[in-house]
Every structure is written in C-alpha cells, then in structure tokens.
Amino acid sequence: MAARQAKSDFAAKQRQLNEELKSGDYRRIYLLCGEQAYLRLQNKDKLVRALLGDGDEMNLSRYSGSDVTSRELIEMAQTLPFFADRRVIVLENTGLLNPKAAAKSVTGSKSSSSIAEEADRIADYIAQIPDTTAIVLVEENVDKRGRLYKAIAKSQKEKTGEILECTTPDEGDLRAWTAGLFRKSGLQISGKALALFLEYTGEDMQNIAGEAEKLCCYCMGMKEVTEQSIRDVTSPRIKDRIFDMIEAIALRDKKKALGIYMELCALRTAPQIILSLMRRQFDQLVKIRELSGRMPDSEIARLVGVPPFVISKKYRPALKMYTSEELLEALEECVAADHESKSGKIDAGIAAEMIIVKHSAKA
C-alpha cells in the first residue's frame, strides 16, 4: 500500500507541477529526487525552459559535484538577471542533500562534514532567495533528516518551494508508457512482446527509453515489434542475467548457469561484480521468503528495493525452486567468497564458478 501511495502521490504532484508551470506560478526552489533518472532529467529540462522564459542561457548557471560552495551559490542567487525576469541556478548531483553518501561517491574531495556545513548554510538562505532567482536541485538520494531537506519541505508548505520525488510507475503505467514509445514510431507491440522487452530492460525508464529507441531503428519499415527482434537487439541488464543464472542453478541446469556466467565474462563484466550481484540476489530471495505472509508485497518491495510486480512475477516463482536451507547456504557461501576475494585469499572468478557448479549439481 505504501509503494502504491508513493506512486499515486508522484502522479498527482507531476500534474500539479505541470499546471503551475503552464500558469506561470513559479517557486523559488525546486528539488527533484528519486530513483528514476529519466523523470528527474525530464523535469529538470522542463523547469529550466519554463523558468527562463524568453530569456537566453546568459541567466542560467549550472553546478555539479560536491565542490560547489554556499558562498558561490548565494552570490549568484543575489545577482539580478540580465534583461530577464529571473536567474535560474541548477545544482545537479552535488550531494548536498546526502553528505555522507556524497563524500564517498560524488565527484570532489570534500569530507561529509564540510559538505554538511555547506548544505546548512544553503538551508539558512532558502527563506531569503529573491523573487528574481529560482534554484533547481537534482539529486537521486536525499536524507530527509537533514536541515536542507527540511528547509525545502518547509518552503513547500509556504508555497515558495516544491519537492518532486520521481518514483518508478506501477506496472500498468510503465507498460502503457513503454508501448507509447513504440507507437510514436508507428510500431505496434503485443502484450507478450512488451512483457519480454521489460524483462530485458528492467524498470529503469532511462534504460527503457534508450533500448526502445534502438529497437525502433532496427524495426524501421516494419509494422510490429516482434519477440525475435527484441532478442536480436535489446541488451539484457547484467543483474537480470544474474537472476537468470540463479534460476538455472535452482533448476540444476549447470550447463545453462555456466553459459550465462561465460556470457557475462565475455561482456567484460568483472567476476567480482558477478559475485557481488549473486550475493545480492540470494540475499533478496532470503528476505522475501522471510517477510512473505508478514506484510504485503508492496511493503516487501520497498524494503528489498524492487518494484512490487517484480516480486510476484520473478521472485516468487524462483522461491518455489529453493528450500530455505539452500538459499541460506548459497548466501553464506557468496558472502564468504566475496570477502575472501576482496582480501586476496581467492580469485573472484574461481569462487563464483565453484558456487555455480556446487549448487547446480545438487540432487
């Protein structure tokens, strides 16, 4: 229920944002966050176009990475626009809304404490942003406990700010949106072919759009996207191929499991990554089995980090092929192998192959 509520909230917020931009009801600060990069980028471009109006990019400033300073941002925000209604400032992947994660992953050399200090100064400034400036923050991960997020949330209540969480659409909306990508190119796609396409691409909308564009070019001159054309052109995601390998292990199909492993190696996927993803898949299966019956799939999906329809269509059928003991044993071996390979005690490739051979050969 929680996941469905989040998705419906996004749809309502998206409609509200579209109406506000159409009517010229602009805010001083916007936060675009959430796991769907496609929606974040689309809304960022939409906001920039609307906020600039007839002005040119002379009044547009862009910052990315954790090296942006609060002093630089505030000075730019206080600068009057040049022959335009407003100045637009875009801050992308700065980590200001999640300093701890930013210190590890965002480009830059600052510590988490120094990034947090910059974020706090910006939080204190939000109430002072002039009407001639609009700030757009674009971040995938945010810490809702931080002062900056709370300051933006407060401005949203005061109608001077806006937060749009770009979450993954539910299965029906995702299928409809994907089919629409093909219709724009004059191509039909059956429900079965569409399901196969989404199995290959996963739920990442940016990946779906890229693969759909590639497939539309391949099918130029045709009337319909076929299952064979999808197999010919669409690139399956690595983690989905890992899941296929886990299924092959459960079916005791050693040849298929090792074939998928060799296919991933041929695609230059590092054995350490394969081992880590195997560990993640077994861990998700264990958690789903433990939580089943105790809470709805929507809540399990939120905790595990996958869409609800993936649990019902992929994970539950796989769980029928494993006992709880087999899952725990495989997970423990993946954890141990992952640790030993990282410490140099064993080669990651050999460790992965040993786990595949051992568990696919079980009676």
Cα 33 off chain centre by: 10
Q: What's the pTM?
A: 0.73
**Same-fold call for 2-165 versus 238-360:** no
Tokens of 355: 């786990």
Residue 198 has pLDDT above 50, yes or no: yes
Tokens of 249: 């292990």
Most confident of 102-111, 138-147, 314-323: 138-147
Q: How far apart are CA 261 and CA 231, in angstroms?
A: 18
In the predicted model, what is the mean pLDDT of residues 218-226? 93
Q: What is the 3 state secondary structure string of 54-74? A: CCCHHHEEEEECCCCCHHHHH
**Which of the pair, 353 or 238, is modelled with greater confidence?**
353
Q: How far apart are CA 87 and CA 81, in angstroms?
A: 5
How buried is residue 24: exposed, middle or buried, by Cβ count under 10 Å (0-12/13-18/19+)?
exposed
The 8 Å CB, 24+ separation contacts for 312-320 are 314/243, 315/284, 315/285, 315/288, 316/288, 318/243, 318/246, 318/247, 318/250, 318/285, 319/285, 319/288, 319/289, 319/292
Q: Residue 16: pLDDT band by 50, 70, 90 thresholds? A: very high
Residue 108 has pLDDT above 80, yes or no: no
In 10 A of CB 176, how many CB atoms? Answer: 11
Q: How far apart are CA 98 and CA 347, in angstroms?
A: 35
Q: What is the pLDDT of residues 277-327, one digit of tens each?
A: 899 889 999 999 999 888 888 888 878 877 777 788 888 888 998 999 999
- What is each CA distance from 47 to 32, 35, 43, 257, 361, in whole angstroms? 10, 19, 6, 47, 56
The CATH number of 238-360 is: 1.20.272.10
- What is each CA distance from 358 to 165, 310, 339, in whole angstroms? 43, 27, 19
Beta strands in the chain (DSSP E): 29-33, 60-64, 87-92, 133-138, 161-165, 188-189, 224-225
The DSSP letter of residue 292 is: B
In 10 A of CB 347, how many CB atoms? Answer: 14
- Phi, psi angles (nearest 5°) of residue 21: -65, -35
The phi-psi region of residue 222 (left if phi > 0; otherwise alpha if psi is between -120 and 50; otherwise beta) is beta
Tokens of 323: 């006992």
Q: Would you state the pLDDT for residue 63?
A: 92
Q: Please identify, in words, the CATH class of the domain defined by 171-233.
A: mainly alpha
Residue 106 has pLDDT above 90, yes or no: no
Tokens of 294: 């105790």
**Residue matched to tokens 């669409």:** 234
How buried is residue 157: exposed, middle or buried, by Cβ count under 10 Å (0-12/13-18/19+)?
exposed
Domain limits, the chain: 2-165, 171-233, 238-360
Q: Residue 77: pLDDT band by 50, 70, 90 thresholds? A: very high
In the predicted model, what is the mean pLDDT of residues 69-77? 95
Q: Residue 2: pLDDT band by 50, 70, 90 thresholds? A: very low
Q: How far apart are CA 274 and CA 267, in angstroms?
A: 12
Residue 60 has pLDDT above 60, yes or no: yes
Please give the full DSSP string across 170-202, using - where no structure is assigned: PHHHHHHHHHHHHHTTT-EE-HHHHHHHHHHH-
Q: Please identify, in words, the CATH class of the domain defined by 2-165.
A: alpha beta
Residue 140 has pLDDT above 60, yes or no: yes
